[in-house]
Structure 1
Amino acid sequence: MKKWKTIGLIAAMIGALTMANTPVSAKDLSLETKWDKTFDKSAKVDHKKVTFKNRYGIILAADMYQPKNATGKLAAIAVSGPFGAVKEQSSGLYAQAMAERGFVTLAFDPSYTGESSGEPRNVASPDINTEDFSAAVDFLGLLPNVDRNRIGVIGICGFSGMALTAATSDSRIKALATISMYDMSRSMSRGYKDSYTMEQRQKVIDYLSQQRWADAESGENALGYHEVPFDDKGNIVKGQRVLPESLPENPNPVLVAFFNYYRTSRGFHPRGINSTTAWTATTPMSFFSFPMYANIEMISPRPILLIAGENAHSRYYSEDVYKAASDPKELLIMPNADHVDLYDQMDKIPFDKITEFFGTHLK
């Protein structure tokens, strides 16, 4: 009797583990059916929701845009970013605008965010999020109306670094444009303009290491990663969401720019991390150990277009990538634009230039 009870207990445990590890299927994803973007729907394109898997088995949710009444095999572009945004925000705007200009486009939610699958939620991974771009290329290249030899990528803000990294090891990406480029590995591990001292870098590592004990003890991944982790007294900032409920007195102009996009009707979206919540507190750990685009010379002879605002606090990232990259490459500085202007300000985003770039290099 004991033998059969033991066998039954083991079988139950195996069954529970199997259920716990059963992957989420595409049909189980909860995808919004109504138009819920932060921009108006274009009458010039067809739109539909799609899903696809990356090589880690995570199911990604995406919006696909196609020019109406297009015929033949078309060039395609995968789009993602900014860091902490969803496809209903800036990336969707870019995808729709480029579809109006004749491309099949795909704006996707990165793993663990938005409508994409992946547990726990609100996690960023330089490796997995780089893979997300290649998975988007997989999907586009299997479409019957896409020429798989004419696929490009647009990375916005923090996902520009992941897009560049993807292109270093995926030669199917034939052309790459970055918008308001941000290197999240460099930002998290070295601070703004590499300003962290060794003592500060160690302080961040110590905090993240201790946070892992707290997460292990609670069984949950605490939220609270903050891009600027030190307060005015040099102490670690803990447990805050990305953006505050309201602006403080005399706020930093960069904070104001982000707030005016993510926390107002201009760009707010309830699924966006930057609009409503925070990344997991330990998110920076893998970024410390994963330098972006370390093999950037491997992108050549495929072209890179780097677009940054003249007044963007992040401009130096694009300029440094331009110096490091091999030809062909181009750096375009947009006058009178800051970092966030290039998220959605149609009079400042150089769509004609972007169209020319991809039209030339995705022939």
Structure 2
Amino acid sequence: MNFIISRRKFMHSALTVITAAALAAAAAPVWAQDRVSTTGNPAMTLNLTQEWDKIFPQSNRVDHQKVQFKNRYGITLAADLYLPKNRGNRKLPAIAVSGPFGAVKEQSSGLYAQTMAERGFITLAFDPSYTGESGGEPRNVASPDINTEDFSAAVDFLTTLSSVDAGRIGIIGICGWGGMALNAAAMDTRIKASVIATMYDMSRVMANGYNDSVTPEQRYQTRVQLNAQRTEDARSGTIAPSTNNLPEKLTGSEPKFVQDYFNFYKTPRGFHPRSVNSNGAWTATTPLSFMNMPLLSYTAEIRNPVLMVHGENAHSRYFGEDAFKKLTGNNKELLIIPGASHVDLYDNEAGKIPFDKFEQFFKANLK
């Protein structure tokens, strides 16, 4: 999660707006030869990196394939599909994974996906619209609506795979994409179980600041500033980047959570060149839609199981706890990880990600 809640941006990328989707070539192994119907020009597909470029080692216990699929807005999403080896011909439960906010599938979501595939699930780690290897222009912009839709598009894709039991699909959302995942669970009844890890409510933090410290007058002035930036962008024909991002160097005076982000995104531990937080910036005007369109308005209506997970020492803990309070029913659970910070749940360097609990939760609820 980028610690900035005000002006964000990024530079135009060479990616072209995508209008069609395709899976791997026909030469793919038999296990990978599920297909999705496509329309438009087959040549206009994403050119995905095929070599292993994740921040974690490749497992010899899963099969892996790069795939792509379209969301409801016609944006083609890039993803990594992980399948357990020696799975036979059984239809398996599946899990779609994304996050954190500003990360790519080669970072935390890929680690979560590969680990859960080792435990018997078909998993899909995807880059959200406008980021990573996924399509969409301009680059490095986020949307509460479109990025919620991205989770449902991932579910769409999983339902088309012959190896997936379409009635047993869950999701995992990490950090800012935890909020998108919970929003998707409120909308998409096909999502049978959800894990929400180290969650940020992006609309809340962008509108109200950390710990809801922003006043209505301050919020109004932010809108004035951001809309003035829109005017500048329209006149220049370019999209301005945010000037408030993770620092290139630490001085030691930064808040602890900023230092934690830096030590993940800006060091060999978690750096990835396609990650917004590692090597870029959000668009300056990204906060506008989040400020005006609150997420989590209908979480009380989620009927399927939800497991909320947060670190005991996470600065973001109140997002998860407050979201949990809105959930109803007796199939919701809040798990606080002792001694864990927000970023401890990104890569398991501190051994804090409760994968055993995730496995237990999904096996109990995707059956």
Provide the TM-score with structure 1 as the length reference: 0.88
Question: Structure 1, residues 88-143: CA drift from partner, whole Å, max 9, x if none?
Answer: 00000000000000000000000000000001101101100000000000000110
Q: 1:306 maps to what in 2?
A: 308
Question: Structure 1, residues 217-269: CA drift from partner, whole Å, max 9, x if none?
Answer: 01111110xxxxxxxxxxxxxx24x2111112422111110000000000000
Q: 1:288 maps to what in 2?
A: 291
* Contact 2:18-2:74 at 8 Å conserved across structures: no
- 3-state SS of the aligned residue for 1:293? coil
Q: 1:80 maps to what in 2?
A: 98
**Letter matched to residue 353 of structure 1:** K
Shift of the alpha carbon at 1:30?
Answer: 2.1
- 3-state SS of the aligned residue for 1:177? strand
Equivalent residue in structure 2 for 1:124, among 135, 142, 153: 142
Q: Which whole-Å CA distance do the structure 1 matches of 2:299 and 2:354 have between them?
A: 25
* Contact 2:18-2:136 at 8 Å conserved across structures: no
* Contact 2:241-2:281 at 8 Å conserved across structures: yes
Q: Equivalent residues in 2 for 1:193-212 (5 A)?
A: 193-212=211-230
* Contact 2:194-2:307 at 8 Å conserved across structures: yes
Q: 2:82 maps to what in 1?
A: 65
Identity among equivalent pairs (%): 61
Q: 2:364 maps to what in 1?
A: 360
* Contact 2:18-2:76 at 8 Å conserved across structures: no
In structure 2, stretches of 5+ residues that fail to align are 1-15, 23-42
**Letter matched to residue 64 of structure 2:** H
Question: Structure 1, residues 254-308: CA drift from partner, whole Å, max 9, x if none?
Answer: 11100000000000000000001110000001101111120112211x0110000
Q: Looking at both structures, which has the greater relative contact order when contacts are Cα pairs under 8 Å and sequence separation is at least 6? A: 2
Alignment coverage as a number of residue pairs: 328
Equivalent residue in structure 1 for 2:182, among 164, 167, 171: 164
Shift of the alpha carbon at 1:23?
Answer: 2.9
**Letter matched to residue 264 of structure 1:** T
Q: Which whole-Å CA distance do the structure 2 matches of 1:82 and 1:243 have between them?
A: 15
Q: Which whole-Å CA distance do the structure 2 matches of 1:199 and 1:252 have between them?
A: 25
Kindly indicate whether residue 337 of structure 2 is the aligned counterpart of residue 334 of structure 1. Answer: yes
Equivalent residue in structure 2 for 1:262, among 258, 262, 265: 265
Check 1:136–1:248 CA distance in 2 against 1; reply closer, same or farther (3 A cut): same
Q: Which whole-Å CA distance do the structure 2 matches of 1:123 and 1:304 have between them?
A: 28
- 3-state SS of the aligned residue for 2:152? helix
Q: 2:52 maps to what in 1?
A: 35
Q: Which whole-Å CA distance do the structure 2 matches of 1:250 and 1:192 have between them?
A: 18
- 3-state SS of the aligned residue for 1:278? coil
* Contact 1:85-1:273 at 8 Å conserved across structures: yes
**Letter matched to residue 70 of structure 1:** R
Shift of the alpha carbon at 1:21?
Answer: 7.8
Equivalent residue in structure 1 for 2:320, among 318, 321, 329: 318
Q: 1:275 maps to what in 2?
A: 278
Shift of the alpha carbon at 1:25?
Answer: 5.2
* Contact 1:24-1:117 at 8 Å conserved across structures: no
Equivalent residue in structure 2 for 1:345, among 345, 348, 358: 348
Shift of the alpha carbon at 1:334?
Answer: 0.3
Q: Equivalent residues in 2 for 1:168-179 (5 A)?
A: 168-179=186-197
Kindly indicate whether residue 98 of structure 2 is the aligned counterpart of residue 96 of structure 1. Answer: no
- 3-state SS of the aligned residue for 1:203? helix
* Contact 2:21-2:70 at 8 Å conserved across structures: no
- 3-state SS of the aligned residue for 2:363? helix
Check 1:80–1:22 CA distance in 2 against 1; reply closer, same or farther (3 A cut): closer
- 3-state SS of the aligned residue for 1:279? coil
Question: Structure 1, residues 172-216: CA drift from partner, whole Å, max 9, x if none?
Answer: 000001110100000000010111012211111111110110000
Q: Which whole-Å CA distance do the structure 2 matches of 1:318 and 1:294 have between them?
A: 14
Equivalent residue in structure 2 for 1:148, among 162, 166, 178: 166
Q: Which whole-Å CA distance do the structure 2 matches of 1:265 and 1:77 have between them?
A: 28
Q: Which whole-Å CA distance do the structure 1 matches of 2:300 and 2:18 have between them?
A: 40
Name whichever structure is richer in helix by fraction. Answer: 1
Check 1:210–1:98 CA distance in 2 against 1; reply closer, same or farther (3 A cut): same
Q: Which whole-Å CA distance do the structure 2 matches of 1:135 and 1:326 have between them?
A: 26
Check 1:277–1:319 CA distance in 2 against 1; reply closer, same or farther (3 A cut): same
Kindly indicate whether residue 135 of structure 2 is the aligned counterpart of residue 133 of structure 1. Answer: no
Shift of the alpha carbon at 1:169?
Answer: 1.2
Q: 1:227 maps to what in 2?
A: none
**Letter matched to residue 43 of structure 1:** N
- 3-state SS of the aligned residue for 1:297? helix
Q: Which whole-Å CA distance do the structure 2 matches of 1:297 and 1:325 have between them?
A: 5
**Letter matched to residue 288 of structure 1:** M
Check 1:135–1:336 CA distance in 2 against 1; reply closer, same or farther (3 A cut): same
- 3-state SS of the aligned residue for 1:352? helix
